[in-house]
Chains A and B, each alone.
Chain A
């Protein structure tokens, strides 16, 4: 039944793939034109934007970079032209791969242009400079959470289980992580607690969807709803009377000697919390394990053709259990990382990051590397749209808040025709 539905869905999606690529190209060109004429030509002639590079939080930076002053008008016109060039490239060449990445690049360039425009010097903004380093570092926190989430999705969906409960695993990981971080003061324990909590949710998902073959999306959504309410309940019942369980401290930055002194790159990659380094290690490990090891071969076989995998002696259910629990644990660490970046657990503050991570996974074609690229694009757009608020942009902040979600919809709707999920993704496996 489910097989048939997938086929029919493919048939729905299959016609006019080329037309869709062209639609995206036209969309990109329109964004480019808007950038040129509204954000570029629309600026006063002498307007300029200042880019600074020194980190904001250290009073005595180890290095000092001069600020870069750019003419807002010309920068934005150049950015717009670059967008149009990309659009033309997509329209003419109709590249088989990475159309979405080009679209994402255009989206990020548009936000940058908006930022330059917002911070232009004879202008309405109270802040008249753009600190590139602090934007990159700020966006890296969002990106990190998304990477954890989409990596969790890769683990689960490569083995054929849809993990829509990433949001729930974030919540569980953040909650338990906060308790451990507050009681021990050590974020290493917070990470372990996060992994435990997330793994537990993964186990619940696996239990219902593998043992009882319940619909994976239903179980996932119900788990998210349940954890959302449970965390709110426990917040009132436990954190309110015992506030020392949720004291909130930011995870300390672990600077890597010397490397952290490199301008821009240093604060971005070498002066981060342990969660950031762990994320990089995990991406490498998961990529290697999935594509270079025997274990990964088994996982992918189970996700593509479970019956064939079972025929050669792979225990399908066991592989899926293991992957879903591991995936849950990864997302749980992501929740703890989010908590550690925010300072404490707050009810409802993951606000759909789990679902954006899911979209990043689709965008990244179920590959760890693709998920990282997608997470960077999504993370930048989420962070920039929140950041634009401080520049007094004449757009309501609520429309800016919609931006990441709209981008996600555009991504899922626009070019999904060419991405292919693991063949058995979301289908329960029935032993013969």
Chain B
């Protein structure tokens, strides 16, 4: 049983050999980018026109290739400069010492985007480790964000009390929303996938209700906007408001969550129970671990983290909740599923995966602004990456790797119902 719980330590070489999950993840990233390039090339009018020209003469071929590479290259260059750093601006700042805020904005945006993503993905990852699938993280984050915004905007007190209370409100909101599927799963056997999916839609409806009804709607507003949080409740920008960099003290919250998750999963007996339940439910039951209490606790933790992510998102960026908060197909909770899978449900893995996906998301915005290629491409690339990460054997076959990569993610999810 201890074998199942503690993976054997591997040498540095083994970690970077072809069998390693890191290599598989890198190759999956590559495949995702190739897929994205194919999509850009096949849907861009300029590229298609250039290819149409080769029906008239073969001389158009170099031109067509050129246009294709230019367009795809521009898109990916924009993703990079929009999320990491613009080399020209960086050089300018380095030589003249000016314009640092501008140069650092992409990195700051990526960190701002990654902060809640790390938190919610760790919540999803903890559930995965216990063999449970929390698809409702998005709804839990929405409820957490709403409750946090309510406390942050409708109660007034000094920062030292207000900020912790706001964050706590988010956790409680998410826990409440996570407890329901957990309890239903534990006591009625309702499959958590269906229940959490349905709860997502319930919470979206509740969000619209909340931001459009009197106590919480921004006074004097007809639109779906909630009240703005007090200055004492927000997570302030790390470098002051004047710098214009949005990266906030929220990253310390995320860091604390990472440490908590490491402790929970690797050092605490509770985390051990979780992992044993996820790896082998029969063994867990035989050794006296209560399946019910594991399910409920996992959903409390997972939901609480999702709620914390929701409130961190509000408190560090907009400071108010609106009708479009976290909603959508590519909502934070769904990205979190892919992040957790890419990070193999390990806290540090999730941090790297979040940074990568945050970079794709933030860079995608830049790409949309400058080339007009829709931001949704980033989500498509993310999904492709995860499809490949979930099927390492396929990656191995494509690249003809010699060693068999370690198996993909295994969950103890089976059919519905009982």
Contact = CB atoms under 8 A, between A and B. Distances in A.
B139 to A, nearest CB: 10
Given A5-B131, A229-B379, A348-B329, A417 B188 contact: yes
A252 B390 CA distance: 44
Contacts of B131: 5
A233 B416 contact: no
B239 interface: no
Contacts of A214: 390-391, 408
B387 A232 contact: no
Interface stretch (A27-35, A332-340, A406-414): A406-414
Contacts of B96: none
Interface in B361-418: 373-374, 376-377, 379-380, 383-384, 386-387, 390-391, 393-394, 408-418
A13 B418 CA distance: 6
A416 B379 contact: no
B202 A5 contact: no
Interface string A223-267: 101101110111011100100000000000000000000000000
B415 A162 contact: yes
B54 to A, nearest CB: 22
Interface string A340-371: 00000000100110010011001000000000
Nearest to A237: B43
Contacts of B45: 241
B281 A362 contact: no
A73 interface: no
Contacts of B127: none
A8 B201 contact: no
A398 B201 contact: no
B416 A398 contact: no
Contact of A362 (B194, B209, B279, B413): B194
A222 B417 contact: no
B39 A13 contact: no
A239 to B, nearest CB: 11
A226 B44 CA distance: 19
Contacts of B341: 218
A235 to B, nearest CB: 8
B198 A405 contact: yes
Most buried by B among A2, A7, A225, A396: A225
B172 to A, nearest CB: 21
Contact of A217 (B200, B334, B386, B413): B413
B298 to A, nearest CB: 14
Nearest to A4: B282
B67 interface: no
A351 B391 CA distance: 28
B135 interface: yes
A4 B291 CA distance: 13
Nearest to B373: A237
Given A230-B380, A417-B418, A351 B201 contact: yes
B264 interface: no
Contacts of B292: 12
A1 B414 CA distance: 10
Contact of A226 (B185, B328, B379): B379
B22 interface: no
B408 A215 contact: yes
B262 interface: no
Nearest to B392: A212
A290 B135 CA distance: 32
Interface stretch (A105-113, A134-142, A293-301, A419-427): A419-427
Contact of B188 (A4, A13, A420): A13
B195 A409 contact: yes
A398 B209 contact: yes
Interface string A210-222: 0010111111011
B383 A222 contact: yes
B268 interface: no
Given A398-B208, A413-B195, A419 B282 contact: no
Contact of A405 (B133, B201, B329, B379): B201
B19 interface: no
Contacts of B201: 351-352, 401-402, 405
B376 A221 contact: no
18 contacts: A2-B414, A11-B285, A208-B391, A226-B384, A228-B379, A229-B330, A233-B374, A233-B377, A237-B44, A352-B200, A355-B194, A359-B198, A362-B194, A396-B213, A402-B201, A416-B188, A416-B416, A416-B417
Which 6 A-B residue pairs are closest in the complex by CB-CB distance? A13-B189, A425-B415, A228-B329, A226-B383, A229-B379, A421-B415
